[in-house]
Every structure is written in structure tokens, then in C-alpha cells.
């Protein structure tokens, strides 16, 4: 009873900020995306695509098609006023568009259905920042693989200018007929074939597993395969250069924004962080999350720095958020030359409606995460001090739409949250317009509560340098230069890694 009273008092003390409604959304808006520069919003709905001005919130262009429902959308800028759009519809078809001169152009369909009996389904479709590359996970007849695409961005920009000139020509019929350059499949990555039998020597639970690939991470597939693709004109299906094996099954993973660190959530509450530069684990951490498997993890940027954290190893620290199947949330701080620290951020919910459906680091707020629960509650949580900063709520007439999978977008440039809200059925709508979905906006910089957490320059110089490479070749060259200059460091890391692995093995044996 005392604990319940404390929780009630804490909730009363936590401020609640109401999200203002700004405009109506198209019917069945399933997804939102905001361009990196904060100029445009892209909306996917039951009739296609719409691009809005993020400042005036007015529609500037549409691509409509009956009975085509867009369920996923991404947006990235490829030129000053040209943006690449990647979508997936409810039938699993991926498409690539361009928004140029307030017109949406369809460049092509990624997974064309040529044979009904071999219908490929696009599960996820991601665009590389800058629009040079894309990747899709594809499934067909029980098989799954990853495809990486090269987008002819330079050719597309020339073709878009040609299309704009044709449209502005007074002698033209108004129809724009441009043959867009095709998307090229760089590589098609399929799971390696593993012979049946005992793949590993070790404990029975590891040796008897048949899904060996669930214990491995492939390394450097993209880099080497791209070199083969400059040499050949046909698709290649490469084998990975290096496999990072693990004794436990990989349940989830995350990549840091600088792409140097890869975090893996393993079975039995183990977290392994790999340093891609050194090719060795940065840390192996045992999280005290008993009887609860990891289902999601992510790196938390812009962690506050303590006064005594002035050592050279501070830059090597990484911070992770872990969501368990039970609903518990844990944080992990680890790094080279530091003692790993784990903290339980939230307890296991008693009611399934209190399970978090979204927990994401807000890239422009120091140490804060946005949490949305299945019951529709939305709040900002301080993952360092384990406190709720404030609740975010739409007006009493509306609720957060589909709280198990909310439709929202966070933009670091505008430092703004865009989220869809639906009419509360328990409230009688005064008009047909009010019953439609609404777009709610929260500008973090304008609130006195969140303003103190806002970071003026969210990207560190190292991250800006890492993210500024435009081509895969530039990224690979820098990567190779870094490896050549870090031989001594990597040798030292390998020695430390073996020591940590031995200590972890002893700990696991003691637990058994």
C-alpha cells in the first residue's frame, strides 16, 4: 500500500503537457517520415503518398493509386531540393520515388511480381542516408535473404531535370515521358549452407542446435562484395569473410550511429558489444534480467558526462537501452577500460496494457527516451536518473492512435515530435471532420520542462565526420586506413578480450 501511494504521489507531481492538434490527416495514415533537413513530411496512407511542407503543414504533392495502401515510408535528401522516398505497401511491394519540384515521380518497383508462384514479399526496406544505396529483406516460399541496391542518383537527378524541362515546355502535351535509370542489385546475401550434424564442440545445448546462423554475425560482406560488383556486371552471392560466433543465440541487435559498435542481445540475458574497427568484443555484460528474454535494444546517444569521467576511455563508452519480453527496461553502460554497469529502469508490469510498445532515444535530448505504452500513455523518461520527466497527451477528445504501433516521427533538425491521434470513441464527435485522424505536434524547445535537456549540436565531430562520407568507397577507404593505424590497439584489445571471456566463462559455470 505504501509503495502504491508513493507511485500515485509521484504521478501527481509529474507534469502533463498537452499536444496541440494542428491539422487533419488523410484517411488511414499508416506511417510518417520527416526529411533530415526538416523541410518536408511524407505520409503513407490508403491511397498512396502525400508530401507536406513541415512548416505550413500543407500538401505540396501527391502520388495516388486506388486500393494501394502504403504501410512504411522513408525519406532522405539526395540534392538541395530533391528527396528519395522508399515505401512498402500492404502486399509487401517496395517502391522507390523521388520528390522534385513539388512532383512525386515513381522510379520503379523493387520486387516486381513476375511469377505468381514465386511471389517475393518485402519485409523491410531501408534507404542509405544520401540516397546512394538501399537494402531490403525479402521472403519467398519460406526462404529469406537480404538484397543491397545501388541507386543511380546522379543519373536520376539529370533525368528529373529533363522531366521538369519537358513539363514547362509550352509546346509539350503535358505528359512527361522519361525512362528512369534502373536500380541495380549490388549483392544478394543468403544464409550460408551449414552441413547437418554437430556444428560446435561444447555444451550440449550449443552442440545440438541446428540453427548455427542464429549464433553468428557476418562481417565485411558489403565491402568485399562491392569490389566484386565493380568488376562484374552480374549479381553475386558472397560468403561472409568473417563470422563472429557466440555460444548463445542472438535475439536482437543494434548498431551505433557512428557504425563502429554492434550490440547483440543474447539468450540468458547476455549483452555482447563488438568493436567493428578492432574486430574484437568491446565488452560482454551479464544483465540481471532473470527469466526474461531481450526483444529490442538500441544505443542511447548524448549520455551526460560525470565530473570524474575525464579519462581517455570516456570516448569509448557506449550506452544501451534493453527491452525485455516481460516489459522490463534495463540500461547498460560499458566500454574499454571501464567497469560495466547495468541498471533496471522499470519493473515488470503487472498489467499487459502497461507494456512499452515504443522506447526510443530522443537524439536531441540529453539522456531522455520517448516511451509509449500499449494503453496509450506517452512520456519522456530520464534513463540516467530513472525518473519520468513529463507525460505527453493529446486533448481529452483524442487518443494516441494504435498505441501498440503508433504512427509518429521525430526530427532532430526541428526538435519536434509528429504523431497521429484518433478520436476517442467514448467522446461524441461534433462533426464529421473532428472524427478524422489528427496530426499532433510537440516542439521540445518551446517547453520549459524539456528545454533544459535540449542539445544544440547533437552530432559530435566524430559522428559528423563518419556520417559525411557520400560513397561506400570513401567509407571503405577510411575504414582500411583506421585499421592500418590501429594494429597495436587491436592487439592489446584481443588480449583483454580473452581475459574477459575467461572471466565470463567462469561466471557462467558458477551459475550452472
Measure the CA–CA gap between 101 and 43, rounded to whole angstroms: 18
**For residue 370, what pLDDT band results from cuts at 50, 70 and 90?**
very high
Q: What's the mean pLDDT in 487-507?
A: 77
**For residue 276, what pLDDT band results from cuts at 50, 70 and 90?**
confident
Q: What's the mean pLDDT in 48-57?
A: 95
The separation between CA 439 and the C-alpha centre of its own chain, rounded to angstroms, equals 22
pLDDT at 16: 93
DSSP state of 406: -
Position 360 pLDDT exceeds 60: yes
pLDDT at 280: 77
Domain ranges of the chain: 24-169+179-192, 356-462
pLDDT at 15: 93
pLDDT digits (tens, 9 = 90+) for 115-172: 767 788 999 999 998 999 999 999 988 888 889 999 999 999 999 998 888 777 776 6
Handedness of CA 160, 77, 146, 154 (dihedral sign): positive
CATH of 24-169+179-192, one of 1.10.3210.10, 2.130.10.10, 3.30.56.10, 3.40.50.720: 2.130.10.10
pLDDT digits (tens, 9 = 90+) for 390-442: 999 999 889 999 999 999 999 999 999 999 999 988 775 555 555 689 999 99
**Residue 379: left (phi > 0), alpha (psi -120 to 50), or beta?**
beta
pLDDT digits (tens, 9 = 90+) for 210-239: 455 567 776 654 544 445 547 444 444 555
Q: Are strands 184-189 and 143-150 parallel, antiparallel or unpaired?
A: antiparallel
DSSP string, 491-502: HHHHHHHHHHHH
Q: What's the mean pLDDT in 61-68?
A: 93
Beta partners for residue 321, in sequence order: 298, 331
Percent of the chain with pLDDT over 90: 44
DSSP state of 249: -
- CA separation, residue 184 to residues 35, 135, 177, 244, 255 (Å): 24, 11, 21, 29, 26
**For residue 466, what pLDDT band results from cuts at 50, 70 and 90?**
very low
> Average pLDDT, whole number, for the chain?
81
Nearest to 251 by CA among 197, 198, 287, 201: 287
Q: Around Cβ 305, how many Cβ atoms within 10 Å?
A: 11
Q: Around Cβ 201, how many Cβ atoms within 10 Å?
A: 7
Contacts of 497 (CB under 8 A, 6+ apart): 280, 281
pLDDT digits (tens, 9 = 90+) for 319-335: 999 999 999 999 999 98
pLDDT at 468: 43
pLDDT at 510: 80
Percent of the chain with pLDDT over 70: 76
Amino acid at each position: 500500500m505504501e509503495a502504491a501511494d508513493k507511485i500515485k504521489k509521484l504521478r501527481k507531481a509529474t507534469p502533463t503537457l498537452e499536444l496541440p492538434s494542428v491539422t487533419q490527416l488523410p484517411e488511414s495514415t499508416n506511417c510518417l517520415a520527416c526529411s533530415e533537413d526538416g523541410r518536408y513530411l511524407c505520409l503513407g496512407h490508403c491511397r498512396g503518398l502525400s508530401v507536406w511542407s513541415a512548416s505550413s503543414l500543407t500538401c505540396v504533392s501527391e502520388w495516388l493509386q486506388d486500393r494501394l495502401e502504403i504501410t512504411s515510408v522513408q525519406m532522405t535528401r539526395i540534392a538541395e531540393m530533391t528527396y528519395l522516398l522508399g515505401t512498402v505497401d500492404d502486399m509487401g511491394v517496395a517502391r522507390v520515388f523521388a520528390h522534385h519540384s513539388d512532383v512525386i515521380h515513381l522510379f520503379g518497383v523493387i520486387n516486381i511480381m513476375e511469377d505468381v508462384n514465386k511471389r517475393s514479399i518485402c519485409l523491410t526496406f531501408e534507404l542509405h542516408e544520401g540516397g546512394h544505396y538501399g537494402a531490403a529483406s525479402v521472403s519467398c516460399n519460406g526462404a529469406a535473404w537480404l538484397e543491397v541496391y545501388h541507386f543511380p542518383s546522379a543519373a536520376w537527378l539529370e533525368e528529373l531535370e529533363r522531366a521538369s524541362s519537358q513539363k514547362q515546355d509550352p509546346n509539350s502535351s503535358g505528359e512527361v515521358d522519361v525512362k528512369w535509370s534502373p536500380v541495380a542489385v549490388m549483392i544478394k546475401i543468403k544464409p550460408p549452407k551449414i552441413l547437418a550434424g554437430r556444428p560446435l564442440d561444447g555444451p550440449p545445448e550449443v552442440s545440438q542446435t541446428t540453427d548455427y546462423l542464429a549464433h553468428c554475425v557476418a562481417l565485411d560482406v558489403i565491402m568485399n562484395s562491392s569490389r566484386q560488383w565493380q568488376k562484374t556486371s552480374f549479381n553475386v552471392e558472397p560468403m561472409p569473410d568473417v563470422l563472429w560466433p557466440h555460444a548463445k543465440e542472438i535475439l536482437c541487435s543494434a548498431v551505433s550511429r557512428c557504425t563502429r559498435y554492434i550490440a547483440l542481445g543474447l539468450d540468458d540475458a547476455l549483452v555482447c558489444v563488438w568493436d567493428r574497427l578492432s574486430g574484437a568484443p568491446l565488452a560482454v555484460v551479464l544483465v540481471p534480467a532473470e527469466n526474461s528474454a531481450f526483444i529490442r535494444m538500441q544505443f542511447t546517444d548524448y549520455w551526460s558526462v560525470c565530473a570524474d569521467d575525464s579519462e581517455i576511455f570516456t570516448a569509448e563508452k557506449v550506452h544501451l537501452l534493453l527491452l525485455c519480453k516481460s516489459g522490463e527496461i534495463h540500461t547498460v553502460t560499458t566500454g574499454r577500460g571501464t567497469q560495466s554497469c547495468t541498471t533496471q529502469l522499470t519493473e515488470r508490469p503487472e498489467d499487459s496494457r502497461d507494456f512499452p510498445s515504443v522506447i526510443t532515444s530522443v537524439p536531441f535530448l540529453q539522456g531522455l527516451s520517448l516511451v509509449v505504452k500499449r494503453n496509450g500513455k506517452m512520456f519522456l523518461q530520464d534513463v540516467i536518473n530513472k525518473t519520468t520527466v513529463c507525460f505527453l497527451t493529446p486533448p481529452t477528445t483524442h487518443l494516441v492512435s494504435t498505441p501498440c504501433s503508433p504512427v509518429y516521427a521525430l526530427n532532430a533538425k526541428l526538435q519536434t515530435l509528429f504523431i497521429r491521434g484518433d478520436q476517442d470513441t467514448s467522446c461524441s464527435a461534433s462533426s464529421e471532420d473532428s472524427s478524422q485522424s489528427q496530426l499532433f505536434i510537440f516542439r521540445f524547445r518551446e517547453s520549459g520542462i524539456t528545454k533544459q535537456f535540449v542539445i544544440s549540436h547533437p552530432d559530435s565531430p566524430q559522428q559528423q565526420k563518419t556520417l559525411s562520407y557520400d560513397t561506400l568507397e570513401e567509407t571503405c577507404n577510411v575504414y582500411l586506413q583506421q585499421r592500418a593505424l590501429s594494429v597495436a590497439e587491436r592487439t592489446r584489445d584481443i588480449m583483454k578480450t580473452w581475459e574477459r571471456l575467461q572471466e565470463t566463462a567462469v561466471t557462467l559455470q558458477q551459475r550452472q
